[in-house]
Chain A
Amino acid sequence: MSYQHPPQVRRVLESLVPVVCPPEAMELGLGADIVDHVALTMSVVPPLFRRGLVLGLTTYDVSAVLWWPGRGRRAHRLPLALAERWFARWEHGPTPIESELAKAVGQLLKFGCYEQPAMLERLGYRPQQWIDQVKRRRLTVYGDDVRRAEAAILAPDPLRPRSQKKERA
């Protein structure tokens, strides 16, 4: 993985997990794993988008100092109730910059949260079992048809009469 969160960004993201993700995520102790997953996703997004997110999260963190209810604290140091209010201010921010940043960060955290095996297990979501089952059934029931279709992929069927076929060197 070529991207790793700067320490400041990591602290902000960890403070946002209880704000954005459902309480079960914290109960299961998944905060750090979710933030690690955000880094994985950020490693493949366009570089400009990634730089924008890092800059935006830093601004989100530092600008909380000027927010009177926060009493001079950065966003990652706010208690949960205030952290929720600060995030909500950005969600409904006066310009699209604030609201789009809150939306993008929220999406990254929610995606990371529901990629955690423990969260998927709580939902009873086990798609690989289903895939293995139907894959086996397909080959058992329709094996002959499958092989015929494979053979047809390679069967000659010229688009134009072969007289037009160019002689290869």
Chain B
Amino acid sequence: MVALPRTALHQDRVPDNVSTRSTLHGDTVLDADVVIIGSGAGGATLAAELAEAGLDVVMIEEGRYYTTRDFTAEASAMTRQLYRDGGASIAIGDPPVMFQEGRAVGGSTVINGGMSWRTPERILERWRREAGLEHIEMPDMDEFFARVERRINVRHQDPETIGVDNALLKRGADAKGWKVIPNLRNQVHCAGSNNCAFGCPTGAKQSALVSYIPRALHFGARLLSDVKIDKILMHGKRAIGVQGHVVGDPATGPSGARGHRVVVRAKLVVSACGAIQTPALLARSGVRSPSGRLGHNLSLHPNVKLTAVFDEPVRGWEGVHQAYQVREFEGEGLLFAAVNIPPSIVAMTSHQRGAALGRLMAEYDRTVIAGMLCEDSATGRVRTISGRPQAFYQLAQLDAEKLIRGVALLSELLFAAGARSIVTPFAGVPALRSHDDTRALYTRTIKRSAMEVVTVHMMGTAAMGTDRTRSVTDGYGLVHDADRLMVCDASLFPTPIGVNPMETIMALATRAAAHVLDNLPRYQ
């Protein structure tokens, strides 16, 4: 038997400076310079930058610390373990939008597809113009993006890992003469295991779990996993720490019992738990934004999927997830990609049932799942009900029309690639079998309630801005009308960005770290 090289960093054990539910015996009280709630794209990046600069940083994560070898292709088990609410969180509206948040050390970077795109320049310019943000345009942001890209190894995919589903997507785009580009992903020789959404089983995807978090820990940061923060401790308007408790194992369901109490006192408190959890945490801590905008401005990048059946074998699970993006309609806020998902999730999100479902699924190995992201124009809201966040989001008519147009365009591409039939995300619409069927989509009445819409990009609920009557934080994430309280996640986005948000979050976190270091005396 050939001995293989040792696998990547922290892939098979919990590091020493990580405390978990099995090591947090009794109530815990800690002191630190900075306490960061959340260990995803924002929290881990900020933690690593500040720890390297010599600050005493404590990260707190509600989810468990998983190692690379914990990640398997068992969709159900992984979903229960890595996703908040088993991936069944719902934004209430017409249609209801199912959304997913990571709940593990590394946050949603553990379960995302690894797409690493800079914020489009038109968006940064919009943020400057509409939110009054300074030093936010590309010449200022370039160094932060470049630093993030170096740290998480943003690269094109090795060609041998591109599977048939992605090759077909590219074939269709080329046949139509549409702009299609290879994706940039955070990976070190990604093997194309196509398990991104359930944790990378090879350690190739440079999620925060295997990049920023090991770095933060190496430079002295501490991490408490399995700890849910109940509230930020305030002294007047100054944040002075956080209080929470140890939680049970999410894979076995809520135990109902509250674990030991955890208190961390700190000179700077950072909420980095995502655009759904951050506004709820601030609200239940008594933080009030003078703008009244906390929890408002929720954008979702509504996302729909098509199931296209081909005559040739596809075996979409063999090869990288999203090797390409079709950018032809980027100006309209539409992106297309091949996004293979396991049979259980294809079946779950399909409108078919019974024998019709059986016929569709029997062709799973000849199926391309294609997804579409839509830059939305409407905003929703996160309300805090009994301390828990609940998202509300109404798909705008304009966006509904954009989704129909996008599905028609993507169907054209898939037929050009050789698809035999296409199942749309619209209930009541029969499978498309020709270009004529595709064209008919434009004239057909499709109710919003018939649309199967999902998302993983929640943004904007504690938006940055210079005007404290219209925004929740300043341009670096410091909460207006509070002291030593920062937000560092996608809540900060003043508008949707039209591309995958991970790199933007990381770049803003790097920029926030630089701001803290430039103003250290303020946090002594």
Residues of A with Cβ closer than 8 Å to B?
Answer: 1-3, 18-24, 37, 40-41, 43-47, 49, 84, 96, 99-100, 106-108, 110-115, 119-120, 122-125, 127-128, 130-131, 134-143, 145-147, 149-150, 153-154, 156-160, 164-168
Contacts and interface: CB of A to CB of B under 8 A. Distances in A.
A164 B354 contact: no
A146 B8 CA distance: 7
B54 A165 contact: yes
Contacts of A1: 252-253
A47 B365 CA distance: 36
Nearest to A147: B5
Interface of B: 2, 4-5, 7-9, 33, 49, 52-56, 72-73, 75-76, 80, 85-86, 88-90, 94, 96, 147, 150-151, 153, 161, 188-189, 191-195, 201-202, 204, 210-211, 214-215, 218, 220, 250-256, 317-318, 342-350, 353-355, 357-359, 361-362, 364-365, 388, 449, 510, 513-514, 517-518, 520
B80 A114 contact: no
Q: What are the 7 tightest A-B residue pairs by CB atom distance, in nearest-first order? A: A22-B358, A43-B253, A44-B86, A2-B253, A134-B191, A127-B73, A114-B344
Nearest to B220: A168
A96 B76 contact: no
A47 B513 CA distance: 37
Given A47-B254, A49-B90, A145-B189, A164 B520 contact: yes
B54 A166 contact: yes
A137 B202 CA distance: 10
A137 B319 CA distance: 13
A71 to B, nearest CB: 23
Contact of A125 (B342, B510, B513): B342
A37, A46, A100: most-surrounded residue (chain B CB, <10 A)? A46
A79 to B, nearest CB: 15
Nearest to B251: A44
Given A111-B348, A138-B189, 7 more contacts: A84-B354, A115-B344, A125-B364, A135-B201, A157-B150, A159-B53, A159-B513
Contacts of A145: 188-189
B96 to A, nearest CB: 7
A100 B449 CA distance: 10
Contacts of A43: 80, 252-253
A37 B76 contact: yes
A96 B49 CA distance: 48
